[in-house]
Amino acid sequence: MWPSEDSHSAEIFARAKQVLPGGISRLLTWVDPYPIYAKRGAGAYIEDVDGVWRFDLLNNFASLIHGHAHPAIIAAVGEVVANGTCFAFPTEREIELAELLCARVASVDRVRFCNSGTEAVMIALKAARAHTGRHRIAKIEGAYHGMYDHAEVSLDSTPENWGNAPASTPHTHGTPPAVLDDTLVLPMNHPEETERLLRANAGTLAAVLIDPVPTQIGMIEMTPEYIELIQTVARDIGALIVIDEVIAFRLDYHGAQARYGIKPDLTTFAKIIGGGFPVGAVCGTKDAMAVFSHEHGHPLNPSSGTFTGNPVSMAAGLATMKNLTPETYQRLEALGTQARVGLLDAFKQVGRPGQITGVGAMFQLHFHERPLIDYRSAYARPEEAALAKTVHRGMLDRGFILSPRCSAFLSTVMTETEIADMGEALAETLAAAVA
């Protein structure tokens, strides 16, 4: 059950409100009436401060792929921290992790580390501008790419403001009008409209930013036809293709780009490549990445950061990635398939309309059966959003942590039995919601 008003979680939240705006540091973690505070994590489970263990399907929003406190990662980190956590000298570990990324992902010849996915996207877009001498970027309506101004545009457009052709809408109050003007918004999986928009803006676009399975658009995949169109037109108009694999790298050993046949100029990684520690990386072809190099004078894109390439994140990332083999990816895929089949079955058992999207080891529940193709079709109607809230709470009460929008990211330490139990918990939750 939700922690009661005399729980430790409630008590901590009362203190939090005195020092943090709204009592939290991270909007995505907010759950009404107060967050459940974590005490510790072990494998696939989190214990809260009131001593309740729950099955963690969120894995810190897809950043843990081996669950909590994985022994190999803890050992790697332990070895580093005892000898100093950061230096104004580089360490060999950043080269080792970069070598691993270059070896695994075909388009990656060079790597520039940073500390988050937000930073990686920001730096990649700046790199594309430096490379092309153009200033505008194109992105998909509703796609989340972190908090950089241009990347945030039209993140949460609504039927009231999204327009016919996607309007550039601000996510943050006070977004400069120039940011909106400089961000072209594309409708996912609408190739004709996208081609028209890209060609009409040719000459000003530095980059087309894509994620083949945007989680904020309900984990719907880009169609092969749409991916093909983006690649062809981006090449024609001389804009760089930037693929955001901050989450999607968990879909394939060789990157989501291999799975979807994408040949990007630049790729952003974060989350799993830091093994539970802050990290980001901009990667790409030798040509696109040349803007970072100081070898021929001041770089076209000077990028730096105090904790960039720090040995703790590098060691945790290396241990994580070394434990992710083609076989573990296959197992994650199988767990994901099992989950999606079981969850759909739960909807059927209860006789409620619903569908499950997602690929690999991630999924999202939708409480309707209309075809899902883009941000607008995935946009939850008020009654669907209300049901998502009820199901999220119901699953928490039964010991399963989903995201508030009822999505999940599985880890290698989860078992088939636990995934089957999750399906049963959903059937019970839906039945209770109908009652």
Ligand X SMILES: Cc1ncc(COP(=O)(O)O)c(C=O)c1O
Name the residues that contact ligand X, by CB under 6 A: 61, 116-118, 121, 144-146, 211, 215, 244, 246-247, 270
Catalytic hit among 34, 144, 148, 329: 144
Considering the complex, state which of residue 398 and residue 405 has its C-beta at the smaller distance from ligand X: 405
Task: Name the DSSP letter for residue 380.
Answer: P
Q: Which amino acid is it at 256?
A: A
Considering the complex, state which of residue 190 and residue 271 has its C-beta at the smaller distance from ligand X: 271
Catalytic hit among 211, 226, 271, 375: 271
Q: At what angle do helices 191-200 and 224-237 cross, to 10 degrees?
A: 10
Minimum CB separation from ligand X for residue 152, in Å?
A: 10
Are the C-beta atoms of 29 and 405 separated by less than 8 Å?
no
Minimum CB separation from ligand X for residue 63, in Å?
A: 7
For residues 77 and 96, give the distance between their C-alpha atoms in angstroms, rounded to a whole number: 15
Q: Which two tokens stand for residue 247?
A: 């989450």
Does the annotation count 265 as an active-site position? Answer: no
Minimum CB separation from ligand X for residue 97, in Å?
A: 16
Closest residue (Cβ) to ligand X? 117
For residues 306 and 339, give the distance between their C-alpha atoms in angstroms, rounded to a whole number: 41
Considering the complex, state which of residue 3 and residue 146 has its C-beta at the smaller distance from ligand X: 146
Does the annotation count 244 as an active-site position? Answer: yes
What is the dihedral sign for C-alpha 203, 207, 212, 216? negative
Which residue's structure tokens are 């901590």?
12
Q: How are the residues of the chain apportioned to helix, strand and coil, as percentages rounded to the nearest 5?
A: 45, 15, 40
Minimum CB separation from ligand X for residue 357, in Å?
A: 15
Considering the complex, state which of residue 3 and residue 142 has its C-beta at the smaller distance from ligand X: 142
Does the annotation count 271 as an active-site position? Answer: yes
Considering the complex, state which of residue 271 and residue 393 has its C-beta at the smaller distance from ligand X: 271
Minimum CB separation from ligand X for residue 133, in Å?
A: 25
Catalytic hit among 244, 252, 265, 374: 244
Question: Would you give the distance in Å from CA 353 to the centre of its chain?
Answer: 27
What is the dihedral sign for C-alpha 160, 165, 171, 175? negative
- Known catalytic residues are 144, 244, 271
